[in-house]
Every structure is written in structure tokens, then in C-alpha cells.
Amino acid sequence: MDSQTQQKGAPLPRRLTEAGERLVAEAAAKHGVSVDATSALLLAIIEGNGHQAQFNHPDLGGMGQWLTGGMLMIGDMFNNSLKAKISALADNLARAAIQEPMLIEPARPPSLSTNSSTSSHWPKDLGPPSTTGSQNQMHYAVFPASRRLAIVTDGHMTIYDTQTHVISGLAQQQGSGQSLTLTSQHGPVPLSSLQRVHHIDPQQSPPEPVSKESDVVREEPGSEVSTAVPAQDRPSRARIEDDHAAIFAKIEGLSDLYEKKIITAEEYAVRKAELLDRL
């Protein structure tokens, strides 16, 4: 029997301040979206630091994801008018969230467990988690910005690549195997299908600091010296956003071809998956 993940240890729903409620009311009226959906989208954008949002609301086309720069995916993928409305609403809310930081009431950071021996801190380089939860001795967090899923069991943390999945929850199959299943926009996804990319023991001590003498690289004959990528060769945020926008534009084009019956549903699914893998 499947047991839905309990949200013990997950942060309590954030509450809007008076300024946040005013913004929601004005934006909802301006864009013709319900107050409840607008509030849910604003909270998701704030959790994404004003640059991305992961949401799930019937008035927003179901499960979806928005990224700054106009990139948007919703469950109702062929409803172009709704996508345009949500995109305009998200841009409006994102600008306000960046300009006005006091839109939600401050909250105390949650602990993963009341038992200090099993508590853990999520790696900061993964970004802010969109979903957290715990069940029995297992804790998890989803990081859409870095496309990672972190699971802590018995004091050990394992990181998985979520690929194109937008994960909204996790269920544990009770029994001898206790297999885990994720809830994705593609349906149930077994944890075993995801690639494990990192494994961390939170109890381990941090590595010793590097001494100043070791900062000097001594090149020995026949040795290989690795060099860092120059800053000018690293992709900028604007370049990454442009690349993502081009990919989403191609997906929109595929949707048009599918609606016009120029390509089959199978061809559409394969090409769309290939494009999403490039994000």
C-alpha cells in the first residue's frame, strides 16, 4: 500500500504581508487570474528568488515551471492564451518581488527532524528547495534550479539528477523493499530510474584548509597541470537564458506542428524530450 509522504519537518506555508496581499489583489484583477492562483504563483516566485518558480494550481494549467526571460511550461501545454496570461502575470510578480522584499512574513528555518542526530543541512550550492518532506527516518528536498533531489537516510545524503521531471512529492512503498516513487508531471517515477550524482555523509568533517605553500603549482616533468576556465569563457546568465529561450521556442514550434497533424504524437514526444534534455 502506498503511503503519501508526510510533511513533517517541512516549512509551514508562508503568509503574505499586507503589501503582498495588495500586490496579489491588483495583479489578479489586472491579468484576470484568481486571487488564490496569483498568491500561489507569487509565493513560488519568492521561493525562487524572483528568477524561477515551480507551481501546481488548476487555474495555472496544473503543474508548471516558469523561468525569468519568458520561459514557461504548464500542464495544459496547448492552451496558448493561458500561457500568455501566466507569463505576463509571472513577469509582473517577479519584478515586484525583487523591488519589494517585504511581501511575505519572515519564517524560522525548519529543521529536518526533531532528532538532532539525524538532522542535516541541505547543500547551499543546490539553490532553494521548492519541496521538502520527511517520512520515518527519510528526509528529502527538491531543488528545481539545479535539477537535483536530495535524500537523507541514516545520516547519509544522496543527490539525484531530476532531469526534466518537475517533482511535487514523494511516496514510499511500504514493505521489505521500501521503494520510493516520485510524483512528476510525467506521472509516477521510480527513484531507481534517476541517476545518482553525489553522495554525502553529513557527519564527515570538512576537508583541511589548503596551505599557502600548496597554492603554488609546481610543474614536474611529464605531469599534467589543470587550469581553470577563464572567466570570459564561462557562459553568462544572459547567454544561458537566450539558449533556454531558443529551446522553448522550438518546443512551441513542435506543438504547432503537432496541432496541425504535420507530425505524429510519437514524433512530438521524442523531439520534445530531446529538447528538454538540453535545458
Has residue 158 got a pLDDT over 60?
yes
| Higher pLDDT among residues 9 and 198, named by residue | 198
Has residue 41 got a pLDDT over 80?
yes
Work out the pLDDT band at 7, boundaries 50, 70, 90.
very low
Cell of 198: 553525489
pLDDT at 56: 92
Work out the pLDDT band at 173, boundaries 50, 70, 90.
low
**Residue 132 phi/psi, 5° resolution?**
-135, 155
135 contacts 6 by C-beta, under 8 angstroms: yes
110 contacts 10 by C-beta, under 8 angstroms: yes
Residues in the chain: 279
pLDDT by residue (tens digit) across 181-206?
887 777 788 888 899 886 554 444 44
pLDDT at 84: 93
165 contacts 174 by C-beta, under 8 angstroms: no
Has residue 134 got a pLDDT over 80?
no
Question: For cell 495544459, what's the residue?
Answer: 76
pLDDT at 178: 55
pLDDT by residue (tens digit) across 65-92?
998 887 899 988 889 999 999 999 999 9
Work out the pLDDT band at 4, boundaries 50, 70, 90.
very low
pLDDT by residue (tens digit) across 86-124?
999 999 999 988 887 678 776 444 444 433 333 347 888
Has residue 10 got a pLDDT over 70?
no
| Higher pLDDT among residues 157 and 261, named by residue | 157
26-41 mean pLDDT: 94
Has residue 176 got a pLDDT over 70?
no
Average pLDDT, the chain: 74
Q: CA-CA distance, 181 to 203, in Å (whole number)?
A: 27
**Residue 76 phi/psi, 5° resolution?**
-85, 70
Report DSSP letters for the chain, one per residue: -EEEPPBTTSPPPP-B-HHHHHHHHHHHHHHT--HHHHHHHHHHHHHTTTTEEEEEEGGGTEEEEEETTTEEEESSTT-HHHHHHHHHHHHHHHHHHHH-STTB---PPPPS-SSTTT-----GGG---SEEEEETTEEEEEETTTTEEEEEETTEEEEEE-TT----EEEEE-SSS--EEEEETTEEEEGGGSEEEEEE-TTSPPPPPPPTGGGSPPPPTT-----PPPGGGSPPHHHHHHHHHHHHHHHHHHHHHHHTTSS-HHHHHHHHHHHHTT-
Q: CA-CA distance, 19 to 164, in Å (whole number)?
A: 35
| Higher pLDDT among residues 226 and 254, named by residue | 254
8-36 mean pLDDT: 81
**Residue 81 phi/psi, 5° resolution?**
-65, -40
- Amino acid of residue 277: D
pTM: 0.41
Question: For cell 507569463, what's the residue?
Answer: 87
pLDDT at 223: 47
